[in-house]
Amino acid sequence: MTSPSLTDDSNSPNPLREGLRIRPVPDPAIVVIFGATGDLAARKLLPALQALAAGNFLPPAFAVLGYGRRDKDDNAFRDDVRKALEEHGQNGDSATTEGFLSQVYYQRGNLDNAADFEALGKRLKKIAAERNIAPNVLFYLSTPPEHFEPVIRNLGHTGLNQPENGWARVVIEKPFGRDLDSAHELNAVVAEHFGEEQVFRIDHYLGKENVQNILVFRYANAIFEPIWNRRYVDNVQITVAESLGMEGRGDFFDKAGVARDIMQNHLLQLLCLTAMEPPVALAGDAVRDEKVKVVRSLCRIEADDVAAQTSRGQYTSGDLNGKSVPGYLQEEEVPADSTTETYAAARVFIDNWRWSGVPFYLRAGKRMPHKITEIAIEFRQAPMHLFEETRGEEARPNALIMNIQPDEGMAVRFYSKVPGTQMRVRPVVMDFRYGSSFGVEPPDAYERLLLDALLGDSTLFTRADEVEEAWRFFTPILEAWEAAGKDGMHNYEAGTWGPDDAQRLTDQDDKQWRRL
């Protein structure tokens, strides 16, 4: 039996990549990448745009303009892009790659110089005229966060934020602020020059296939939504673990820490999608309205409660995948007396009807045994007195595990009888993986998010009020940690699952962290 097609375009080179052909093609446009010679552009943005072009998801009238301080011309930048695609790209033969490169340009300039932005405007008009592109521009801020404000202001002062007879949109990378006050100030600057409908605050986790699948899983399957509440759910555990250390990012990370780098954005987004109420539509503000309600419903952890409801630590030297790795304080560009956390965990509650009394355990860390992001829903234990003598020592509750990365999929843990003449009970797992079920690996998150931004679909991007509410929750925690300094900092060996101190968070409810 032939499987049904997931696309209406038989000419697409990879018809299972999201079924994007059923969506409208974006308007002719130019994508301007500020920080085009940086790591993010090389590893993610340019390969994602090339993949979209190779899949015929972009209009024929399309161009990419890299903007940076390095002294290059179009040909030199195209050589750099070609190397980036060879190393990080996945789609397209040499002909499609060369076709994409012919649409790539470079503009030298500084991010804080208004005259350079005037020159950028002239270059955009020239490219638009040469390629017959309407005056539609997507500005992507792939820069360090300290450059966000000057770029936004220069776009506004030169009129590039409001082109005639076209549209302008701006994509802003994380981190969006480092606390509530800075996020509020940045939002004010953005709002001064762009309407909210023009602004796309990106969190690449929202572009991951299984993150989007949370909504489909919950609202398209009648067997799960009725039990998605405090009556049946015992606890929720959300984990974002990375095996990497600093990898040359010591200076940046030490100014942020794992809470700012992961918990305030990636992890909180996973919590919102897991806990939100059904939206009136799977689009735009309908989804974002429900996410904001979740963040506003979080029980605030005030300064006096931070020590009891959170745990933090730093990794020390250890063995990981058979190799000896240095401790955090021995990493390059990390101060020897740093009190920045590389592991953070929190016990939080959502004060609404659906989740009242259900603990949400959140944890994120660097130098874990392996990379994994998952959401685990553990259900209340069924009365097991009939099987007390036959189920063995493994008495974990039923659970639904949503694997976000690296193996995107889902698994359900339940009890089953062991084959044989005796009544013996054992937990078993039924799982689903995207690669094996659909025959292809999911597309990179940036492909989906860039296409959405070009289409003007803001569903998978964070809104101004959501960003500020997230910081309103995390800022008191961060301030308490900074005030405590080394007090309350717990070491853990690289290659382990974090400090022993984190166990007390689940001990308060007589629970335990999942073994990953």
Annotated active-site residue in 157, 184, 193, 266 = 266
Helices (H), 231-283: 250-258, 268-275
- Region of 150 please: left (phi>0), alpha (psi -120 to 50) or beta: alpha
CA–CA distances in Å: residue 134 to residues 55, 127, 512: 22, 10, 57
Two structure tokens written together for 388:
């007390």
Distances (CA, A) of 53 to 30, 102, 126, 308, 338: 13, 12, 22, 51, 45
> In terms of Cα–Cα distance, which of 88, 104, 11, 6 is closest to 51?
88
Contact (Cβ atoms closer than 8 angstroms) between residue 372 and residue 346: no
Q: Are 357 and 349 in contact (CB under 8 A)?
A: yes
Q: What are the phi and psi torsion angles at 455 (to 5°)?
A: -85, -10
What are the structure tokens assigned to 185, written together? 């100030």
DSSP type of residue 240: E
- The single-letter DSSP state of residue 60 is S
The token pair that represents 100 in the structure block: 């994409």
N-term to C-term CA, the chain? 37
Q: Based on the residue annotation, tell me whether 266 is a catalytic residue of this protein.
A: yes
Looking at residue 178, the DSSP 8-state letter turns out to be S
CA distance 469 to 222: 31
233 within 8 A of 379, measured Cβ to Cβ? yes
Tokens 């500005």, located at residue:
139
Alpha carbons 365 and 383: distance in angstroms, whole number: 35
3-state secondary structure 150-186: HHHHHHHHCCCCCCCCCCEEEEECCCCCCCHHHHHHH
Catalytic residues: 266
